[in-house]
Structures are given as structure tokens and as C-alpha cells.
Amino acid sequence: MKIDNDFNIDAIGDDHIGSASDTPLRKDAFKLSNSEKIESIKADVQHILETLGLDLNDDSLKGTPNRVAKMFVNEIFGGLHPDKKPSASTFENKYKYGEMLVEKNITVYSTCEHHLLPIVGKAHIAYISNGSVVGLSKMNRIVDYYAKRPQVQERLTIQIVKELQEVLGTEDVACVIDAKHLCVNSRGIRDVASSTVTSEFGGKFKTKETRREFLDYIKLDTEF
Ligand SMILES: Nc1nc2c(ncn2[C@@H]2O[C@H](COP(=O)(O)OP(=O)(O)OP(=O)(O)O)[C@@H](O)[C@H]2O)c(=O)[nH]1
Ligand SMILES: [Zn+2]
């Protein structure tokens, strides 16, 4: 199986693979099929619910272990499998468009890897073409793919930029994410007002002027 660069197979430990900006995966991450994973997780969720004292014979609860297992494997953690990586078609920049392109307010639904609670927010992406352009929707798809993993916001931001740099063949890519972490908003410190902003600026976006232009376009006035 082809392992993408975000699933670097340089071992950094005995039982997992990856480098700092990679999602830490075990070496046997792809040993089980999706249906085998669902069966196994279903039993685990059942165990958790029963340990909490819930009666799984109840009509409303009896399907929950299966629902949660399917949701983990196929939906909220569906971006753990490299087969799910969107193919990002690029085109020649025939129009000779030389300015920055900004795709803003991309919806982010991810999951905090510390508490497995939702991260909800917006991503804003910019790039300057080096000869190719990418289909607009592919940027939204790339965000969604990396968001569908247990994440920390810093890693998600870097992974999006690295992927687009590779697709577009240029360093000139930037991403800002502004998101709410339910682990901060709904439990623990329970601060409903706060959100987290992360950014990654590559190539020309490291210069003050270009970075400023991008930040002016997005204005960070996002409502969730
Ligand atoms: N840097 C970073 N931290 C995160 C992210 N998501 C959640 N966290 C933090 O991860 C930390 C985990 O800290 P712990 O002390 O192990 O967990 P905890 O006891 O539940 O902490 P509290 O949330 O403060 O109750 C918390 O401070 C979270 O706010 C993220 O995307 N990036
Ligand atoms: Zn959390």
C-alpha cells in the first residue's frame, strides 16, 4: 500500500510511525479492514456503556455501540486511511493569474485527540500560483480529510499547508484556522467564549506584506 508523506514510516518508536507533524499511527494501523475495526470498536463501546451502568437492552441504546463504531471508522476518523485522501486535480495557470488566491471560511469539523470532543471552526487558505492552480473545492476537501482524524489544531494547520505545497509545487501556501474546542467550552474550564487561532505561513507568506494582505482578506470575523 502507498503510504503518503503524512503517514511517514520512519519509525520513532517501537509501535508507532511518523514524524512531528504526522498523525502518530501504529505500524499495524491498516492491518484490520474497516468492517473488522467496526466490530472491534462496537464491543469496546458496549463495554464502556455497560461499565457506566447503562442497560443496552433499552430500545434507544441498543444500537449505540454499532452507531458509534461506524461513526468513528467511516465518518469522524475516516481521514485516518490514506485511501480517503482526495485527489486534488491541478490545472495549468493559463490565465496567468499572478495574485494570491484565498479560499476562506472553509468549515472545519474535527475531533480533539485529548478528549475526543469536537473542534468546530473555520479554515482560511491562500496560495500564490507557481504555474498550476487547484480546483477550489479540493482545498475544502483537503481540510476535511485532515480534520477527520483525532487532531490538535496546530498539526491540522501544518498538514493542510504541507499537502497543498506538494499538490501545487510551491512553498507559497498559508493557512489560518479559528476554531472552538468543546473540551475547553463545554467541560473543564467551560469557557464558552474562547476560540483558538493557529497559522502556518510558507514561502512568500513569511514576508510581512504578503502575510498582511492574506490576513486583511480574511479579517477573522468568523461566526461559528
Ligand atoms: N495545544 C493544544 N492543546 C489542546 C488542543 N485541544 C485540546 N488541548 C488541550 O490539551 C490539554 C490536555 O490537558 P490535560 O491536563 O492532560 O487534560 P485535562 O485534565 O482534561 O485538562 P483541562 O481541559 O484543563 O481540564 C488541555 O489543556 C486542552 O485544552 C489543541 O488542539 N492544541
Ligand atoms: Zn480536548
What's the pLDDT at 11?
37
Q: What is the pLDDT of residues 45-80, one digit of tens each?
A: 999 999 999 999 999 999 999 999 999 999 999 999
8 A C-beta contact, residue 200 and residue 158: yes
Whether the model clears a pTM of 0.80, i.e. scores above it, the answer is yes
Atom from ligand 1 closest to the CA of residue 112: 6
Higher local confidence (pLDDT), 89 or 206:
206
Identify the CATH homologous superfamily for domain 5-84: GTP cyclohydrolase I, N-terminal domain (1.10.286.10)
The CA 114 to ligand 1 mean position distance, Å, reads 6
What does the mean pLDDT of the chain come to?
92
Residue 222 predicted with pLDDT over 60: no
Hey, which bits of 23-99 come out as E strands? Answer: 25-26, 90-92
**Shortest-distance Cα residue to atom 32 of ligand 1:** 152
The CA 188 to ligand 1 mean position distance, Å, reads 9
Q: Interhelix angle for 136-147 vs 153-168, to 10°?
A: 140
Give backbone dihedrals phi and psi of 126, rounded to 5 degrees, phi first. -140, 150
Distance CA(140)–CA(220), nearest Å, equals 18
8 A C-beta contact, residue 30 and residue 80: no
The CA 161 to ligand 1 mean position distance, Å, reads 24
Distance CA(138)–CA(135), nearest Å, equals 5
Q: What is the β-pairing status of strands 25-26 and 16-17?
A: antiparallel
Higher local confidence (pLDDT), 7 or 138:
138
Q: Could you tell me if the CB of 112 is within 6 A of ligand 1? A: yes
Assigned C-alpha cell, 22: 504526522
Q: What is the pLDDT of residues 164-180, one digit of tens each?
A: 999 999 999 999 999 99
**Is 90-218 assigned to CATH 3.30.1130.10?**
yes
Q: Where are the domains of the chain?
A: 5-84, 90-218
